[in-house]
Amino acid sequence: MERAGKGRESIAVLTIVVAAVAALGMSWFQPWWRMEARAPQYGKQVLVVEISPVRVTGDVKEIDTLGHYVGIRPLGELAHVERAVAPFGLALAIAGLVVAPFLKRRRLRFLAVLPALVMPEFFLLDLNYWMRKSVNDRDPTASLSSSVPNVDPKIAGNYDVGQFKVEAILAGGFFVATIAGILALGLIFATPLSLPERRKRRKAAHAVTAALAGVWVAAAPRPADAGELADRIAAASPGDTVTVLAGVAHEHLLIEKPLTLQGQPGAIIDGGGVGTILSITSPNVTVRGITVRNSGDSYLREDSGIKVEHAAGVRIEDVKVLDTLFGIYVAKGDGCVITGSTIVGKDLPHVRRGDGIRLWYSGGCTLTGNTIERSRDVIIWYSKGTRVERNVVRTSRYGLHYMYSDDNVFRDNRFEDNQVGAAIMYSRGVSLVGNSFSFSNGPAAYGLLVKDADDIEVVDNRFLSNSTALFFDNAPQAKNGWVRVTGNLIARNEVGVGMLPMVRRIQFGGNAFVGNRSPVRVSGEGSADGNDWSPAGRGNYWSDAVVYDKDGDGVSDIPYRVESTYEGLSERHPNLAFFEGSPGAQAIDDASRLFPIFAPRPKLTDAHPLMRPPLSDWSGRGESRRGNLTLAGGGMLGMTALVLRLSRGLLG
């Protein structure tokens, strides 16, 4: 009976050991802490960062970029010593859990399990230290450092950093590690086990060593593989052409010399879900005719299909980049050319994806004839003199996310089914001509957002079926800056043009506003009359305008005014927005027209509205664009022409 009782006690103690080791090992591959950041400019999108003892993952690059403006150090530079020694701490904790049951003295058992006990607490203390140091010990020379006061970060809870509302929570890995610590506490008070005979001890030691080695291998990053293609690239001379044969090559490649990588039909390079597939660090490299697929998913390493770093004059032609976190990433690669390529990101929620194309400090680049789908953004930051022509960006967050880049041209591109078609911010000298911005719908969704920018021309574009077609925030911002919006089709949007009340000096001329629920809307109280709606005596076409042209010059003699009693009421009483578009709302506006004493102040007056939409061939017909856009634009303009013809007949 006594032996049976001891056997049951031994089984119970060993069960605790196995459970504690398993819990500690499981926690290593889960996030211990999670931060979610929200800001008005991101709408419903949330920036997420997850931290464990060895990893920082999520929207790290986005957070680092935003932090750069206020002087916060990159996340990857914080606690790098702790992340480097963490695998040793895990191995020590597991070894202590395994050894503790065989120690006779309780004090020794306590010392053995101490690493497992203190690991969660040390993580919290270290996290709290680095959080406070990073947000309050900022670079005073950063451009927006003085605009953000001292921050009181929380390990768990809500706090503000500038415009961002941050929610911090402890994640699953922390709680699993805490469970391991609680189980370890039980080992201190458990009945000590007798040491097995010598042969069994030796086998047990081997098993523990193997387990610790397995933990170390799992926690350590896996190196990139090398293969036949990598060997041929290494052996090539500068200027050579290396042919990628048809078939699938499971390799990771590094090009460090000027050469051409030419793919045969059916040539595929597969990254196996690990790391960046093709890295280029030499100028004057050409990559043509290959498929690159299946990168890793680490934001900390910025896993990409093709990554160009500190290399000018790189050409990427007729390439397919599939199932990658970042598609084509160019950092400090002036004069790059990306043409005729297809980029499809990983099938992840928007906030977990990488960018389809990212230009970072890369001036004078050209992006032509590419198709980008299922990415987070196409980013052009700190990159002057870029030409972006004939590209298609679909089902992404920002079709174009553009900041701190001057003198760039965007022509004949299509931005479809993105949350924001294009965002132009903190830049000047930008030309947008002949583009299509369509089907950007949802809260804070825009066809084109222009913020804090100068010398912007928006000419002959199409804005179809967006929540807000164009939105202007502090543009133009400089005293001598300008923004011109000319010859655009703005049709079937919830809001045609939205702006903040302080926006002034934009010229709107020769545009066609067709079938928008609200042609122009000013956020909050205010008007859009500080802008020029009839430059040189010719205004815009408004499909809901009452027009009369006595002298036949194509300009109506009746001014057009945007005014809505109901819209003004709903701005003062937001709950009324629920009834927008209802018969009751329409009745209020009709009543205000019948009894002008109740009419609100007009939000804008176009003194010289046009009788007909003066559209270019592209914005009016769009034969070369997708059929659904052509039918939508053509159908609306056809109906408009019919109404005009009937009106002329009635007016005799």
Q: Any idea where the domains of the chain sit in the sequence?
A: 2-219, 228-405, 425-563+601-652
Asked whether residue 198 carries a pLDDT value surpassing 90, the answer given is no
Q: Which of the four pLDDT bands, split at 50, 70 and 90, describes residue 344? A: very high
Alpha carbon distance 269, 290 (integer Å): 8
Interval 20-31 mean pLDDT: 87
Long-range CB contacts (within 8 A, 24+) of 583-590: 589/564, 589/565
What value, to the nearest 5°, has the Cα angle with vertex 269 and ends 263 and 273?
160
Range in 132-136, 190-194, 618-622 the model is least confident about: 618-622
* pLDDT for position 618: 56
Q: Average pLDDT, whole number, for the chain?
A: 83
Alpha carbon distance 233, 279 (integer Å): 12
Range in 140-144, 271-275, 608-612 the model is least confident about: 140-144
More confident residue, 51 or 457: 457
* pLDDT for position 469: 97
* pLDDT for position 571: 59
* pLDDT for position 224: 38
More confident residue, 198 or 75: 75
Q: Which of the four pLDDT bands, split at 50, 70 and 90, describes residue 218? A: very low
Q: Supply the DSSP symbol for 77.
A: G
**CATH code at 228-405:** 2.160.20.10
* pLDDT for position 477: 92
Neighbours of 32 (CB within 10 A): 25
Alpha carbon distance 149, 176 (integer Å): 36
Interval 397-401 mean pLDDT: 93
pLDDT per residue as tens digits for the range 374-391: 999 999 999 999 999 999
Asked whether residue 148 carries a pLDDT value surpassing 70, the answer given is no
* pLDDT for position 593: 55
Asked whether residue 491 carries a pLDDT value surpassing 60, the answer given is yes
* pLDDT for position 444: 84
Asked whether residue 649 carries a pLDDT value surpassing 70, the answer given is no
